[in-house]
Amino acid sequence: MSDFTIAIIGLGYVGLPLAVEFGKKYPTIGFDINAARINELKSGKDSTLEVEGDELKLANHLTYTTALDGIRPANIYIVTVPTPIDDHKRPDLSPLLSASHSVGKVLKKGDIVVYESTVYPGATEEDCVPVLEQESGLTFNKDFFAGYSPERINPGDKEHRVINIKKVTSGSTPETAETVDRLYRSIIQAGTHKASSIKVAEAAKVIENTQRDLNIALINELSIIFNKMGIDTLEVLEAAGTKWNFLPFRPGLVGGHCIGVDPYYLTHKAQQIGYNPEVILAGRRINDSMGGYVAGRTVKLMTKKRIHVVDSNILILGLAFKENCPDLRNTRVTDIIRELKTYNANVDVYDPWVNPEEARHEYGITPIAKPEEGKYDAIIIAVAHHQFRELGEAGIRNFAQPTHVLFDVKQVLPKEKVDARL
């Protein structure tokens, strides 16, 4: 297949940068069910801040649509929808299956469907392909084919972009694998790695973030231990980091759409096949508990300073899941807020990056426009946005009462400038 017409299903943090790169070279159709998102992109704006307006203009073969018929001309369908977890931390494949139903309705003989969404090994062929067959009436690996090429987008990262991150590819037949690899290779400057099967590619993706999750969990647990010993964790890590093979992980909240979610896809599949993944789940429990731990330490420090916690005013600096990025998906800052409210504290959240309407919709949190000077009994630096670094100690303490607690989750300030840090 040399004449590619590509449809990208889902134009979020993953889909849009990919659509832009393909749209510079091939006829590309960006599809999203969110009409407001499509209208925004048509006007040359991207609210995720992943693609600048000038770069959108460079994709002169890219068009946008909310209509299913609009993607019918494609012969390559790339699915980049979210794969979240539900309230019980179980994989929620509904967006993926819904996208598969939609693609199945327009699928034609010879077409290839490539999935980029993070899943457990086997999901593409066992969960998605049957939906494509059902909707299209076509036979897998005879009439149509599938591939899997896991996304490696890092929201807010202006250095590691789609084209300079090596891409893992795979296909349901050797010929399909070669076609998928050739397609991505034509835009990915860093090159590709063709996996031997779709399942291998799926497994590779899910363990990338599981490995990071476990490493951060270890450092978070060490941080708790060192705090009880009266030792500064960052100083320990800097000392240990002088060894050439010591990995530079830091303690913190583990949120976002990947690291805090992907391990549950792997543990779900492991339990399905009769194995209880103890180490992975232990890491998840530690990382999911860190918001409550930060809140608890803050309350203890306030009590030591004889600050009444009930009806106190506490400022949280940052709500996004990471610095210098508006992405609110699976942010664990909400755990700090929730725990503090159990003490009947008044919690204000300030984040110059996030969309207040999205915060209200997703979490019922209304960020304030600007913190009030001299108001707060405690301030927690939860996200290392550059605005908070630029404020420095004096600027941040300016929001506080004369007697207060300053807790630094992200090591924004030196240890001697704060009451506590992770």
Average pLDDT value for residue range 296-314:
97
Q: Which residue is catalytic, options 258, 295, 302, 349?
A: 258
In the chain, what is the straight-line distance between the N-terminal and C-terminal CA atoms, in Å? 53
Pairing of strands 145-148, 112-115: parallel
Higher pLDDT, residue 395 or 52: 395
pTM score of the predicted model: 0.92
Task: Locate 171 and state its tokens.
Answer: 């296909």
Quote the pLDDT of residue 265: 95
357 burial level (CB within 10 Å; 0-12, 13-18, 19+): exposed
Report the distance separating Cα 14 and Cα 27, nearest Å: 19
Buried b (16+ CB within 10 A) or exposed e, 256-282: bbbbbbbbbbbbebbeeeeeebeebbe
Banded model confidence at residue 281, pLDDT cuts 50, 70, 90? very high
Pairing of strands 62-65, 313-317: unpaired
Task: Locate 287 and state its tokens.
Answer: 């990382």
DSSP three-state, residue 147:
strand
Report the distance separating Cα 216 and Cα 221, nearest Å: 9
Give the model confidence (pLDDT) of 45-90 as tens digits: 998 888 888 888 888 999 999 999 999 999 999 999 999 999 899 9
CB 191 within 8 A of CB 358: no
Positive or negative: CA dihedral 327, 330, 336, 340: positive
Q: Is residue 325 among the annotated active site residues?
A: no
Task: Locate 77 and state its tokens.
Answer: 């369908």
Phi-psi region of 250 (alpha: psi -120 to 50; beta: other; left: phi over 0): beta
Give the model confidence (pLDDT) of 318-360 as tens digits: 999 999 999 999 999 999 999 999 999 999 999 999 999 999 9
Contacts of 59 (CB under 8 A, 6+ apart): 19, 20, 21, 22, 23, 24, 28
Type of residue at 321: F
Backbone angles phi, psi at 91, to 5 degrees: -55, 135
| pLDDT of 1 above 70 | no
Report the distance separating Cα 51 and Cα 53, nearest Å: 7
